[in-house]
Amino acid sequence: MPSGNGGDNFAVADGYLLALNAYDNQIYCMGKGPSETTVSVQTDVVSWGDSVLFKGTVMDIAAGTQQQEQAARFPNGVPAVADVYQEDWMQYVYMQQPCPSYVEGVQVKLETLDPNYNFYEIGTVTTDASGMYKLLWEPPVPGEYTIIATFAGTNSYYRSYAETAIGVTEAPAPSASIEPEQPAAHTQQTPTEPAPTEPTAATETSVISAEVAIIAAVAVIAVIGVAAYWMLKRK
């Protein structure tokens, strides 16, 4: 709550207090404000046995956070913080006071509707000074999951929630290992003599022709010899 209000000049309506802040001469409307919760996963389809990292934010989206000054100082939004740190945090956000040395965020509950339509809590985490939270979780069975992140609200913020989904597939069966083939041993072969080839028909014909030629030559010589003998005998 801003310090140094202007005396008793304030009004209350519908759960909100309207008052002049003498510190900066601004009129403030104070009360419970809206929040925005987000949740996401980087990989929404994983193999069974793998873990999934959920992360998200819980931010203050009150009208004051959209003002030019606040939007410029908090381009990623104004984080929601626990009630116990609200006074110092609001003075830092709206009155240019020093940033508190330590602030704690709000709690977020993560729940799931699993493939068998069982609804149960995954875990509860607390946001940091930037409004972020995270949770690592291993799905128990394959199938499709709906994930719900819920901020239940505090005295400073109304409730908000967000959803996302993941798919878990069966892990592929391990393939049989193929052993490399062993190189065959090289054996030294001894040279073998070529097998004798049987004479072909052409070879046999040439042999017969040679024999006939020899016989004919002998017969011619014999005839010539006989003729020469008779001629010499006549003389």
Three-state SS at 214: helix
Highest mean pLDDT among 24-33, 123-132, 168-177, 216-225: 123-132
Is the pLDDT reported for residue 183 higher than 80? no
Is the pLDDT reported for residue 160 higher than 90? yes
The stretch 41-61 carries a mean pLDDT of 96
Residue ranges of domains in the chain, CATH in brackets: 1-31 (no CATH), 33-92+101-169 (2.60.40.1930)
Q: Over the stretch 116-140, which tens digit does the pLDDT of each residue have?
A: 999 999 999 999 999 999 999 999 9
Q: Is 7 left (phi over 0), alpha (psi -120 to 50) or beta?
A: left
DSSP type of residue 63: G
Out of 39-43, 50-54, 167-171, 212-216, least confident range: 212-216
Out of 13-22, 52-61, 147-156, 159-168, least confident range: 13-22
Where residue 178 falls among pLDDT bands split at 50, 70, 90?
Answer: low
Nearest to 57 by CA among 162, 164, 165: 162
Residue whose token pair is 């391990």: 174
Residue 132 CA to residue 115 CA, distance in Å, equals 28
Residue 16 CA to residue 11 CA, distance in Å, equals 8
Is the pLDDT reported for residue 227 higher than 70? no
* The two structure tokens encoding residue 149: 């992140």
Averaged pLDDT score across all residues of the chain: 84
The predicted pLDDT at position 2 comes to: 47
The predicted pLDDT at position 1 comes to: 46
Is the pLDDT reported for residue 6 higher than 60? no
Residue 60 CA to residue 35 CA, distance in Å, equals 5
Nearest to 147 by CA among 188, 113, 106, 109: 113
Where residue 16 falls among pLDDT bands split at 50, 70, 90?
Answer: confident
- Cut 0.75: pTM above it: no
The stretch 169-192 carries a mean pLDDT of 65
Q: Over the stretch 184-219, which tens digit does the pLDDT of each residue have?
A: 655 555 555 555 555 555 555 555 566 656 766 666
Query: CA of 175: how far to CAs of 50, 55, 69, 172, 181, in Å?
Result: 19, 35, 61, 9, 18
